Amino acid sequence: MAPKPDRFFNRELSWLAFNRRVLEEAQDASLPLLERLKFLAITGSNLDEFFMIRVGGLQQLRAQGWNGTDASGLNVQEQLAEIGQAVRAMMADQYACLLNDLEPKLAEQGIRRVDRRGLTPEQDAYLESVFEHEIFPIITPMAVDLEEPFPLLSGLGLNLCVRLKAVRGAEMPRFAVIPLPKGIARFVTVPTVAGFHYLPIEDLVTAFLDRVFPGEPILESVPFRLTRNADLSVAEDAAGDLLAQMKEVLTERKRSPCLRLEVGGKPSDVLLGFLRSALDVSEEESFSVPGPLDLAAFFRLAWMTGFDQLKVEDWPPQPSPALPPQESVFEVLSRRNVLLVHPYDSFDPVLRLIEEAVNDPNVLAIKQILYRTSENSPVVAALARAADRGKHVTVVVELKARFDEARNIGWATALEHAGVQIIYGLKGLKTHAKILIVVRREPDGIRRYVHFGTGNYNEKTARLYSDISFLTAEEDYGADASSFFNTITGYSQPVRYRKLEAAPIGLRARLLDLVQNEIERRKQGQPARILAKLNSLGDPDLIQKLYEASKAGVEIALNVRGICCLRPGVPGLSENITVFSILDRFLEHSRLFYFHNGGDELVFISSADWMPRNLDRRVELLVPVEDPDSRARLVAILETSLQDNVKARRLLPDGAYERLAPPAKKKAVRSQEVFYRRACEAAQAAKNVGGPVFEPHLPAGAQT
Torsion (CA) 607, 609, 615, 620 in degrees, nearest 10: 0
Q: Say if CB 343 and CB 317 are below 8 A apart.
A: yes
Establish whether 432 is a catalytic residue: yes
- Find out whether the peptide bond into 343 is cis, omega within 30 degrees of 0: yes
* CA neighbours closer than 13 Å in the CB half-sphere of residue 465: 19
Q: For the residues of 339-380, what is the DSSP string, one character each?
A: EEEETTB-SHHHHHHHHHHHH-TTEEEEEEEESS--TT-HHH
CA distance 549 to 571: 13
Task: Name, in order, each residue with C-beta under 8 angstroms of 205's C-beta and a sequence gap of 6 or more.
Answer: 131, 135, 139, 160, 178, 180, 212
| Residues 325, 684, 377, 335, CA torsion sign | positive
- DSSP designation for 321: T
Residues in the chain: 704
Q: Indicate the pairing of strand 196-200 with strand 421-423.
A: unpaired
Q: Strand runs (DSSP E) across 497-590, as ranges? A: 501-503, 529-534, 555-560, 577-582, 587-588
* Side chain identity, residue 189: T
* Side chain identity, residue 678: R
| Residues 465, 471, 476, 481, CA torsion sign | positive
Burial 337-358 (b: 16+ CB within 10 A, else e): bbbbbbbbbbbbbbbebbbbbb
**C-alpha separations of 518 from 20, 81, 381, 560, 597 in Å:** 34, 40, 46, 20, 6
Considering the candidates 197, 342, 432, 589, report the single residue annotated as catalytic. 432
Burial class (CB in 10 A: 0-12, 13-18, 19+), 379: buried
Burial 85-104 (b: 16+ CB within 10 A, else e): ebbeebbebbbebbeebbbe
Other Cβ atoms less than 10 A from the Cβ of 243: the count is 17
Q: Indicate the pairing of strand 421-423 with strand 602-606.
A: unpaired
What are the phi and psi torsion angles at 36 (to 5°)?
A: -65, -40
Residues known to be catalytic: 432
